[in-house]
Chain A
Amino acid sequence: MAQKMKIKTSTVAPRLGFGLNAWLIAGFLFFVVPMFSAFLFSIQLGDGTYTLGAYQRMLSDPGFGEAIWISARLAIFTVLVSIGLMLPTVTWLHIRAQRLKRVVEFITLLPLIIPPVVIALGFLGSMPLWLKDSVYMLVFAYTVLTLPYVFRSLDNGLNAIDVKTLVDAARGLGASWRQVLVSIIGPNVKSSIYGAIFLAVALVLGEFVISNLLLWSTLPVWMALVGMSDPEGAVALSVMSLVFVWLLLMLLSSFDRKRKVRIDIGGVS
């Protein structure tokens, strides 16, 4: 990603010069200044001295571990259900039902249009009783919320390969549908799957309205609660979750890069 950006500036820069650089700097500041201010706020005391006390306070709070544990489980299961549901579905749309793709695309957009409050209440009404009692109920709500992102990401990945021929070839060689998805389609849209996973995780770790309405103390809900009594602590938490998500992104994109390097070496030999 970094390389791409470099190429862009070096080819465009001579003509646009100052203007483009100014925009880049402005954009950079727009993102970084609030984060830096938040960090500063979380470590500064009233008398102007600095301390990491807020971070210590949060990490040692028993509610923190609990909230992280709930959110982590939700993230993992949401990713599994969402990818497990959408990879076969989008593959099927590509090989057998191109015309239905638009309909499904529209359906996946609904979570962006329908207000979260409506989703949450509708959800509560439609779930079976035994599930209403479990935190895993949120997995299904979150799966719905991730649909627009996961659909788009997988659709882009599948557009880049000749799905129909690859599926025909694999089926003809004796592969079951499960083998087709796991050994052929999956590996060839790996970066799209990583992208979808990242978006789903980021969404689960940030979702507030539904979990709050359904009375589950996920990380964002707990953060909001803490913020009422301990503003520095709440900001320290948001800085930590930002860093965590950022690390996750780095990790996922490094998986992706590793694969490319291996192929490049093969090409040279």
Chain B
Amino acid sequence: MTSNEKNYVDMQGLQRNFGDVAALDGFNLQIQKGELVALLGPSGCGKTTALRLLAGLDMPDGGKISVDGKDITNIPANKREMGMVFQAYSLFPNLTAIENVAFGLKVRGQDTNSRLKKAGELLELVGLSTQANRFSHQMSGGQQQRVALARALAIEPKVLLLDEPLSALDAKVRTQLRDEIRRIQIEVGTTTLFVTHDQEEAMAMADRVGVMSNGKLEQIDRPNIVYSSPTSAFVASFVGAMNRLPAKLDASKVHTLGQSVAHGGGASGSDLVALIRPESIEVSVGKTSGSKTGSVLARSFLGPQTRLTIVTSETKTNIHVDLPSSEAGPFAPGTLVELKISAPTLLTDYRVKN
């Protein structure tokens, strides 16, 4: 792989300020050719700003953007060859589905026949060839977003930009379309940057997930690694559910919930907060109340899994425990339970001690 393919999209030291607020603060991101990268973060973290800078719809106050080895920092949006799908429905209301898809080719001066042929092929790719003559208000939200995807792909963009394209859709259509976007992206092989606040979406679709906070990229890696080995407390708490338990540290062990467990290393200080995934705590029906016990406060059925909310007997902290629904029978609210931490997934919040 050449260096141009490895750093196909290269965003370096991007700075974007809105008044006193820095939406992006030294943002760096490299995307490989053909890769789908998801940017994940809470609202206001700067992920959409990063996408708009790459699209050229907004200009950075500092930093550099290059695509395929070419500096595009000062190139206007209409010369960048990016295909974008927006969060809000963005089809042109005065054009039919097929005219929408063909619009990008029309402004490039392609003749009517060849552009309608190409647009027809793309509508077929997104499964909407029967809807070609419909206007946007005659289509469902999911269909509109498919047409928008076809429209973005029609110009054979250098990078496909997806700005929360699924967030306005209902849950069922969302998962369906999510899988379909991924299928099409792999089929066409377009380098893609996907912005979302939905971690499930990011995890399910992306080759790599970048977690953002306060205008910076906190961590970027394969989804399973971001989940299992977060490099900061923010990433750990933002991706997946996380329990926060008061803990003490000595030598190599972390003491919490009346147990001593090993930690990933790097932690210092004596009073800490231990971060533990709900599925990393085992429960069994307890006998006598003590430091390792708690009582069930609530039991929520979530399909294959059941989540217990437990208040610990000594520290009175609320914790969540996930277990297979088939094993949740004995844990009615009020039950006294014994808690056991399965060690390897324990994480320690390095920064906390207020």
Residues of A within 8 A of B (CB): 161-162, 165-166, 168-176, 179, 183-184, 187-188, 190, 263, 266-267
Contact = CB atoms under 8 A, between A and B. Distances in A.
A174 B79 contact: yes
18 contacts: A162-B89, A162-B90, A165-B86, A166-B90, A166-B92, A168-B55, A168-B77, A168-B84, A169-B84, A171-B78, A172-B56, A173-B155, A174-B81, A175-B78, A183-B107, A187-B94, A188-B94, A266-B134
Nearest to A268: B138
A174 B78 contact: yes
Contact of A174 (B88, B104, B138): B104
Given A166-B90, A170-B92, A266 B57 contact: no
Given A165-B86, A168-B86, A266-B138, A176 B107 contact: yes
Contacts of A184: 92, 94
B103 interface: yes
A190 B133 CA distance: 21
A21 B155 CA distance: 59
B216 interface: no
B332 to A, nearest CB: 50
A-B pairs, 8 with minimum CB distance: A173-B104, A187-B94, A171-B77, A169-B90, A172-B84, A165-B90, A175-B107, A165-B88
Contacts of B79: 174
B55 A172 contact: yes
Given A166-B90, A169-B84, A176 B133 contact: no
Given A174-B79, A174-B104, A174-B107, A168 B138 contact: no
Contacts of A173: 78, 83, 103-104, 107, 151-152, 155
Contacts of A179: 107
A118 B89 CA distance: 48
Say whether chain A's binding surface is mostly helix, strand, loop, or mixed.
helix
A169, A176, A267: most-surrounded residue (chain B CB, <10 A): A169
B90 A174 contact: no
B236 interface: no
B172 interface: no
Nearest to A267: B138
B103 A266 contact: no
A165, A170, A173: most-surrounded residue (chain B CB, <10 A): A173
A166 B86 CA distance: 10
A174 B86 contact: no
A172 B77 contact: yes
B59 to A, nearest CB: 12
A97 B137 CA distance: 28
B227 interface: no
Interface string B133-177: 111011000000000100110010000010000000000000000
Say whether chain B's binding surface is mostly helix, strand, loop, or mixed.
mixed
Given A169-B92, A175-B78, A179-B107, 12 more contacts: A161-B93, A165-B89, A168-B57, A171-B56, A171-B76, A171-B77, A173-B151, A174-B155, A187-B94, A266-B134, A266-B138, A267-B138
A176 B104 CA distance: 11
B249 interface: no
A188 B93 contact: yes
B138 A172 contact: no
A142 to B, nearest CB: 30
Nearest to A169: B90
B72 to A, nearest CB: 13
B353 interface: no
Contact of B78 (A161, A176, A183): A176
Contacts of A169: 84, 86, 90, 92, 148, 151
A173 B80 CA distance: 9
A177 B123 CA distance: 27
Contacts of A174: 78-79, 81, 104, 107-108, 155
Contacts of B84: 168-169, 172
Given A169-B84, A172-B57, A172-B82, A266 B133 contact: yes
A83 to B, nearest CB: 17
B81 A188 contact: no
A187 B93 CA distance: 9
A165, A168, A174: most-surrounded residue (chain B CB, <10 A): A174
A165 B87 CA distance: 9
A179 B76 CA distance: 15
Contacts of B83: 172-173
Contacts of B135: 263, 266
Contacts of A170: 92, 103
Nearest to B96: A266
B315 to A, nearest CB: 50
Interface string B64-84: 000000000000111111111
Given A172-B82, A173-B107, A179-B107, A188 B77 contact: no
A174 B84 CA distance: 11
A202 to B, nearest CB: 27
B81, B92, B138: most-surrounded residue (chain A CB, <10 A): B92
Nearest to B91: A169
B100 to A, nearest CB: 9
Nearest to B81: A174
A183 B80 CA distance: 20
B76, B79, B90, B104: most-surrounded residue (chain A CB, <10 A): B90
Nearest to B151: A173
A178 B56 CA distance: 18
A200 B335 CA distance: 79
